Structure 1
Amino acid sequence: MGGGAYHPGVTETIGAPEPFVADGYGGVRIVADRRGDPASRAVVFLHGGGQTRRSWDRAAAAVARRGWQAVTVDLRGHGESDWSPDGDYRVASFAADVGEILAHLPPRPVLVGASLGGITAMLLAGELARGIAAAVVLVDIVPDMDPTGAERIHAFMADKMADGFASLDEVADMIADYNPHRPRPADLDGLRKNLRRRGDRWYWHWDPQFIDGTATNPPLEVTDTERLHDAVGRIVADGVPMLLVRGQVSDLVSQDRASQFLARFPQVGFVDVEGAGHMVAGDRNDLFADAVLDFLSQREVAKP
């Protein structure tokens, strides 16, 4: 995975995240934020498809307040990270990018991955760089996810991708329709973090190739259930603690699918977050952060 160039940012105020950039796989620029003591073991947060590192802000702040270093990453093609110039959106490439970020952190961080970020963590810790993680937290993702839920997420991301939005109100309405169990976004300015302005319209931040099937190398690994199960098997066989955090109203990880996963890997811890859907960290941030921190304490994962 080599040692990409590292470009530290400047913290403007005490407690504010410190942005930094690493050169990912193939030279793709990867943007991340750091909170807390840079000498402490890091908890590295990897977002889901269509999200950005900002989706972890409150959880990362809670982890940093407890003495950990918290690092949130924009995956390639998302947020402020570069779009892949050659359409490389293989999960293995996402994982290689994260490996370049980890090269600038203390050894053996904790990986926390939601959805696509969780699949990235599986391949990184269980296939590409065994032993790289001190613990792995999968957030509402298992290798054998519900295809109906996955299709719903894909449809949401594809809708309006080409045409964009005339206003931030339109964006807020669409998000509210997709997540009826959550309040309509009140801070319209906050939505700008998930959008890019072109001309007089707003567009989602992600690279359309990642969604519309035109990428030269799409993330086919997300449907390779056997490969992902093998990766998880190697992680737990190596004695690396693993936790599955599920949203009780998730349409991607049903109770049955969670139960099957836990029966296959009884070493894995489990937390079911009441009142949360697929966006667990955003739906119930208070319970999510506590669940992760309690797990690390119970498994005696220290923050040296």
Structure 2
Amino acid sequence: MSDIVPTGRRIEGAAGVQIVLDEWGRPEDPLVLFLHGGGQTRHSWKRAGSQLAGAGMRSVTVDLRGHGDSDWSPDGDYSLHSIRDDIVAVLSALGGKATLVGASLGGLTALLVADTRPDLVTRLVLVDVVTRIEQSGSERIRDFMQSAPEGFASLDEAADRIAVYLPHRTRPRSTQGLRKNLRQHEDGRWHWHWDPAMFRTPPDLNPLGMAAELDAAARRLRVPTLLLQGALSDVVSDEGVDHFRGLVPHLKVVRLDGAAHTAAADDNDAFARAVQDFVLDR
């Protein structure tokens, strides 16, 4: 179903920040909203969005504030609470209750949305993220996102940097897909497609500093909840999963053996099947 073309749209989020999204499927179909991880864009979900639309769902992928084509925050506010408020505004504009699928930063956002506005959420899918993540894995992500502040001379140079960061993946022969994740500046150099101001977030608003709030939100979860754990992940450990299961007794866990923290891209077919089965309650 890769030939299904999405419809682009802009929705006003919190404090006037414009959020860009792509939408597949019919308005009357079950709504599935995808929230990417830090440093990614809505294009990370393109294959899954198209596949689920082909299976009869209304798939919507979002660029979080400061990422992709969405606005950068004018005051550098990238707290989880503000991102959550953006997504609440998006859901209200879409006009329906949704299954939220969130990876990493998007997963923690989805958890807070489900806690704050349970009336807007039917199901919750967390992609390799729990409330107690491994600090070493989190720091590796942060280090990668802060790397190359001077940009890259070419897409091949960027691809080489990504290959080092994701050693479990085969380096793609073509670098054209990277055009969705990098911006080319007037000097010809390529820069990551996110706002560097995200790293000026105060420590008390960093997910690692919100463990108590996130745990409390998890305890209050009542919607069906699925955790897709990347078996190769350095961010979510078995101990972290056990802790989260203690907070969410009705949690269902599916382990993706060929995937790391970037689980949806590492094994898209297994990821899409798991989400589809969960949404359709199979």
2:240 to 243, 257, 270: 257
Q: Which runs of 5+ in 1 are unaligned?
A: 1-13, 300-304
Find out whether 1:245 has 2:228 as its counterpart: yes
Structure 2 residue 144 is the aligned partner of structure 1 residue 156: yes
Residue 197 in structure 1 maps to residue 184 in structure 2: yes
Q: Take 1:168 and 1:219, find their aligned partners in 2: how far apart are those partners?
A: 33
Q: 2:27 aligns to what SS in structure 1?
A: coil
- Residue 7 of structure 2 corresponds to 18
How many Å apart are 1:149 and its aligned residue?
Answer: 0.3
Within 5 A, what are the aligned runs for 1:21-60? Answer: 21-60=10-49
Other-structure match for 1:295: 278
Alpha-carbon deviations, 1:100-140, whole Å to 9, x = none? 111122421100000000000011111x2232200000000
SS in 1 for 2:5: coil
In 1, Cα distance between equivalents of 2:207 and 2:238: 23
> In the aligned structure 2, how far is the partner of 1:225 from the partner of 1:218?
10
The letter of the residue matching 2:221 is I
The residue aligned with 2:134 is: 146
Question: Are 1:235 and 2:221 matched, yes or no?
Answer: yes
Q: Tell me which residue corresponds to 1:180.
A: 167
Aligned runs of 1:208-227 on 2, under 5 Å?
A: 208-211=196-199, 213=200, 215=201, 219-227=205-213
Q: CA deviation at 1:220?
A: 2.5
Using the alignment, how far apart are the partners of 2:281 and 2:11 within structure 1? 33
Conserved in 2, the CA contact under 8 Å of 1:233 and 1:265? yes
In 1: Cα distance, 2:281 partner to 2:70 partner? 35
Q: How does 1:104-115 map to 2 (within 5 A)?
A: 104-115=93-104
**Corresponding letter in the other structure for 1:33:** D
CA distance in 1, matches of 2:202, 2:108: 20
> C-alpha separation between the residues in 1 aligned to 2:100 and 2:274?
14
1:283 is aligned with what amino acid? D
Specify whether residues 219 and 189 from structure 1 end up closer, same or farther in structure 2 by C-alpha distance, changes over 3 A only.
Answer: farther
Q: Distance in 1 between matches of 2:71 and 2:204?
A: 16
Alignment of structure 1 residues 93-108 onto 2, 5 Å? 93-108=82-97
* Distance (Å, rounded) in 2 between the aligned partners of 1:174 and 1:284: 21
- Report the CA distance between 1:19 and its aligned residue: 0.4
Q: Deviation digits for residues 250-294 of structure 1, max 9, x if unmatched?
A: 000012211222133220111000110000000000100111111
Query: Which of 232, 250, 255 is the aligned partner of 1:267?
Result: 250
Quote the RMSD (CA, aligned, Å): 1.7
Kindly indicate whether residue 147 of structure 2 is the aligned counterpart of residue 168 of structure 1: no
Kindly state the Cα deviation for residue 43 of structure 1 after the two structures are TM-superposed: 0.2
Q: Kindly indicate whether residue 80 of structure 2 is the aligned counterpart of residue 91 of structure 1.
A: yes
Q: 2:155·2:190 contact (CA, 8 Å) conserved in 1? A: yes
Q: Is the 8 A contact 1:52 1:78 kept in 2?
A: yes
Matched-pair contact (CA < 8 Å) for 2:163–2:169? yes
Give the AA of the match of 1:268.
Answer: L
C-alpha contact (below 8 Å) 1:210/1:218 kept by paired residues: no
Residue 3 of structure 1: aligned partner = none
Distance 2:86 2:203 in 1: 15
In structure 1, C-alpha distance between the alignment counterparts of 2:99 and 2:118, rounded to whole Å: 13
Query: Do the aligned partners of residues 201 and 219 (structure 1) sit closer, same or farther apart at CA in structure 2, a change above 3 Å counting?
Result: farther
Identical aligned residues as a percent: 47
Instruction: Tell me which residue corresponds to 1:137.
Output: 125
- CA-CA distance at 1:217 after TM superposition: 9.2
State the TM-score, normalizing by the size of structure 2. Answer: 0.95
Structure 2 gaps, min length 5? none
1:79 maps to: 68
Kindly state the Cα deviation for residue 247 of structure 1 after the two structures are TM-superposed: 0.4
- Contact kept, 8 Å, 2:24 with 2:58, in 1: the verdict is yes
Report if aligned partners of 1:95, 1:123 keep a CA contact under 8 Å in 2. yes
Distance 1:39 1:265 in 2: 30
Report what 2:264 is aligned to: 281
Q: How many angstroms apart in 1 are the aligned matches of 2:204 and 2:87?
A: 18
What is the aligned residue count?
A: 280
What is the distance in 2 between the residues matched to 1:152 and 1:118? 18
